[in-house]
Amino acid sequence: MSQPQKIRRPSVTASDPPTTIPIPSNPRGLVESAFSATSPTQHLSTSPGAAGSFGGRSLKAFGSARQLHAFLPATFPAFPEEEGTATPRAGKIKILLLENISLEAAQFLKNAGYEVDHSTKAFSEQELLDKLPAYHAVGIRSKTKITAKVIEKCTQLLAIGCFCIGTNQVDLATAAKHGIAVFNSPFSNSRSVAELVISEIIALSRQLVDRASEMRAGIWNKVSKACWEVRGKTLGIVGYGHIGSQLSVLAESFGMNVIYYDVVPIMPLGTARQVDTLEHLLQTADFVTLHVPEIPDTIGMMGPAEFAQMKEGAFLINNARGKVVDLPALADALESRHLAGAAVDVFPKEPGSNGPGFSEDLGDFIPRLRKLPNLIMTPHIGGSTEEAQRAIGNEVANALSRFLNYGTSIGAVNFPEVDLRAITADDSRHIRVCYVHRNEPGVLRAINAILANHNIEKQFSDSKGDVAYLMADISGVGHEEVREIYEAINGTRANILTRLLY
Ligand SMILES: NC(=O)c1ccc[n+]([C@@H]2O[C@H](COP(=O)([O-])OP(=O)(O)OC[C@H]3O[C@@H](n4cnc5c(N)ncnc54)[C@H](O)[C@@H]3O)[C@@H](O)[C@H]2O)c1
């Protein structure tokens, strides 16, 4: 049998009075779905599958949700600087937002009742070690690195919000082992990418970028040969997910025929049609656009054989991930005029900062690409719009708030995704157990023994690797019993982090 790990959070002693931290301020218990009444982003998520719904359920289910409070023992958190001092926590959940995260997101979190500190800059590891232990949640973008050392030091951290797409800047496994959920916003910029692709389809078919750069060089070159309308042409979308499906709708409104290839059967939007093979799509489409993730199956999915299958004079667009396309093979296909043009927004290696740097250091094919006509190259800007930034702020702030207030981990990247129907105003003696524990045998038996005298109204548990997360709503719990339940669960062998919401 493995040795129980040291429990990181201190347990209460009999003399400690329970401390309640009131969250949230929203009286209906409903996460406000937008920053302001005038915000253009009025729904919880911008992803097509999730808009207007929450964890697959209607928002209506939350209409009479009860405001929950977190039970935290008086010693929580007992990081060394504050031991023995009068409670400095003042009953507030504290959130630190770094790297100039949208002020609207900060305001949203403030309105939700949290104490929010906002900084325009990224923090170094030392700054994080000095300051982050005072916070329960942190919002970052890509520059602040949340390392294992930082996580170990921040004993009261509950959640990390990455207000961006990537999460490489966080030690995800260590965060999960400490019960800290990490959220990001992978789909908030789908619309921005889809719109860029539409602009590229037209720009390629009219050789727009070449004409515009000729004019800058003082050359008047009025041509119509090999310039086309997009109406009636066939767009082949590879990967019909968040971006691919949005694009499908936009392209049809331009009069294009849309076919798509995806590894899973997906219901078509409008009059689009799913085809069975990539080969079929490549042989049929005038424009091929890639919207797949970068996974082993998709790395190099467009190579010499695939370019040869494309129609003569067709166009390729890659706004997905750099390694999906074999760029030397693309250069061959363009140099031989088999393809009439291409748009590339993503590269296998990209410069770390703005400025000169798009050079052969990133690959010896780069100088070849830079010379090719009707090749539109952009610096990974597919999702870079003001609207996407705002949507990211909205989505991540909502995710943080839902996790802190209700224990919902839907959307967490490092953590089992668990959610429960809301506790309603009628359920006055219900409490919610949020129990992060090591994924090992016998845990449910131990929990059921602790809760044996109560009715478990609903519970859901899931695991991801070594970490599991159980949410359970228990009825008929008196205020005086909360501490006892907390102590018993917090003292279980597999405990990582216990929170009770009531
Ligand atoms: N250029 C940018 O700035 C930018 C911005 C956002 C997203 N992206 C990238 O765009 C891509 C698509 O993003 P999304 O949000 O639409 O993803 P998504 O997960 O919603 O959709 C991806 C789709 O690809 C399908 N797929 C997976 N493997 C496949 C294969 N081998 N063949 C065909 N289909 C396959 C999946 O089934 C899914 O339907 C991702 O690579 C993402 O990283 C780029």
Q: Is the distance from the beta carbon of residue 192 to the nearest atom of ligand 1 less than 6 Å? A: no
Type of residue numbered 17: P
Residues 48 and 79 in one domain: yes
Ligand 1 midpoint to CA 288 (Å): 14
Q: How far is the CA of 203 from the centre of ligand 1 (A)?
A: 23
In a domain, 56, yes or no: yes
Least confident among 185-199, 344-358, 473-487: 473-487
Asked whether residue 164 falls in the same domain as residue 205, the answer is: no
User: Which residue's C-alpha comes closest to atom 44 of ligand 1?
Assistant: 320
Give the Å distance between the CA of 264 and the centre of ligand 1: 12
84 and 173 belong to one structural domain: yes
Most confident of 12-26, 330-344, 345-359: 330-344
Least confident piece of the model among 40-44, 363-367, 399-403: 40-44
Residue 143 sits in the same domain as residue 195: no
171 assigned to some structural domain: yes
Query: 291 CB under 6 A from ligand 1?
Result: yes
Query: What is the structure's pLDDT at 65?
Result: 63
**380 labelled catalytic:** yes
- Confidence check: pLDDT of 149 > 90: yes
One-letter-per-residue 3-state SS of 54-112: ECCEEHHHHCCECCCEEEECCCCCCCHHHCCCCCCCCCCCEEEECCCCCHHHHHHHHHC
| DSSP secondary structure code for residue 332 in this structure | H
Ligand 1 mean position, distance from CA 491 (Å): 43
Active site residue 429: no
Q: Of 178, 321, 402, 454, which is the active-site residue?
A: 321
Q: How would residue 427 be classed by pLDDT, with cut points 50, 70 and 90? A: confident
pLDDT per position as a tens digit, 257-296: 999 999 999 999 999 999 999 999 999 999 999 999 999 9
Is 28's pLDDT higher than 70?
no
Q: How many domains, in total, are found in the chain?
A: 2
Cis omega (within 30 of 0) on the bond before 88?
no
173, 88: one domain: yes
| Any ligand 1 atom below 6 A from CB of 184 | no
- Cα(320) to ligand 1 centroid in Å equals 6
Same domain, 334 and 212: yes
For residue 170, is pLDDT > 80? Answer: yes
pLDDT value for 279: 98
pLDDT for res 79: 33
3-state secondary structure 232-249: CCEEEEECCCHHHHHHHH
Cα 190 to chain center, whole Å?
12
Helices 482-490, 443-450: crossing angle, 10 deg rounding: 160
Q: What is the mean pLDDT of the chain?
A: 84
> Do 241 and 119 have their domain in common?
no
Rounded to an integer, what distance in angstroms lies between the CA atom of residue 88 and that of residue 115?
13
Probe ligand 1: pick from 267, 288, 291, max atoms within 8 Å of CB? 291
Q: How many CB atoms lie within 10 A of CB 127?
A: 15
- In a shared domain, residues 149 and 224: no
Residue predicted with more confidence, 166 or 153: 153
In a domain, 9, yes or no: no
Domain edge (last residue) among 318, 346, 377 = 377
Both 128 and 207 in one domain: the answer is: no
Give the domain extent around 400. Answer: 32-187+387-425
Residue 501 belongs to a domain: no
Mean pLDDT along residues 321-331: 97
Flag whether pLDDT at 182 surpasses 50.
yes
Q: Over 80: is that where the pLDDT of 58 sits?
A: no
Sequence-distant (≥ 6) Cβ neighbours of residue 185 within 8 angstroms: 162, 163, 164, 165, 391, 392, 395, 396, 399
Residue 349 has pLDDT above 80, yes or no: yes
Compute the average pLDDT of residues 135-146: 94
Axis-axis angle for helices 242-253, 190-205 (nearest 10) = 50
pTM of the model: 0.75
Write out the E strands in 265-306.
Answer: 273-274, 287-290
pLDDT higher than 60, residue 57: no
pLDDT of 36 above 70: no
Percent of the chain residues past pLDDT 70, beyond the cut: 82
Beta strands across the sheet bearing 69-72? 19-22, 69-72, 495-501, 431-438, 467-475, 455-464
Q: Which residue in 28, 280, 338, 380 is the catalytic one? A: 380
In a domain, 70, yes or no: yes
**CATH number, domain at 338?**
3.40.50.720
Is 248 among the domain residues?
yes
| Percent of the chain topping pLDDT 90 | 70
CA 342, 346, 348, 350 torsion-angle sign: positive
- Whether 83 shows a pLDDT value over 50: the answer reads no
Taking 70 as the threshold, does the pLDDT of residue 453 lie above it?
yes
Pocket of ligand 1 contains residue 393 by CB under 6 Å: no
Q: Are residues 45 and 105 in the same domain?
A: yes
**Atom number of ligand 1 nearest to Cα 297:** 31
Mapped onto helix, strand or coil, the DSSP state of residue 150 is helix
Assess whether the C-beta atom of 289 lies below 6 angstroms from ligand 1: no
The predicted model gives 193-204 an average pLDDT of: 98
Range in 90-104, 130-144, 236-250 the model is least confident about: 90-104
Contacts of 467 (CB under 8 A, 6+ apart): 176, 177, 179, 415, 416, 436, 437, 438, 439, 496
By DSSP bridging, strand 115-118 and strand 94-97 are parallel
Q: Would residue 81 show up in a list of annotated catalytic residues for this protein? A: no
Give the Å distances, CA to CA, from 158 to 9, 419, 450. Answer: 12, 16, 24
Q: Answer yes or no: do 183 and 211 share one domain.
A: no
Task: To the nearest 10°, report the CA torsion of 140, 48, 470, 462.
Answer: -110
Asked whether the predicted pLDDT for residue 135 surpasses 60, the reply is yes
Asked if the structure places residue 272 within a domain, the reply is: yes
User: pLDDT tier at 46 (50, 70, 90 boundaries)?
Assistant: very low
- At 390, phi and psi to the nearest 5? -65, -40
Q: What is the pLDDT of residues 234-253, one digit of tens each?
A: 999 999 999 999 999 999 99
Identify the pLDDT of residue 45.
27
Q: Give the per-residue pLDDT at 71.
A: 63
Q: What mean pLDDT is predicted for residues 342-363?
A: 92
Q: Ligand 1 pocket: which of 47, 193, 289, 392 to mutate (most atoms <8 Å of CB)?
A: 193
Choice between 298 and 81, residue whose per-residue pLDDT is larger: 298
Whether residue 37 has pLDDT greater than 60: no
- Do 100 and 39 belong to one domain? yes
- Over the stretch 355-367, which tens digit does the pLDDT of each residue have? 999 999 999 999 9
Residue 5 domain flag: no
Question: What pLDDT was estimated at residue 257?
Answer: 98
Region 68-87: mean pLDDT is 47
Residue 15: is its pLDDT beyond 70? no
Give the pLDDT of residue 70: 66
* Cβ atoms within 10 Å, residue 264: 7
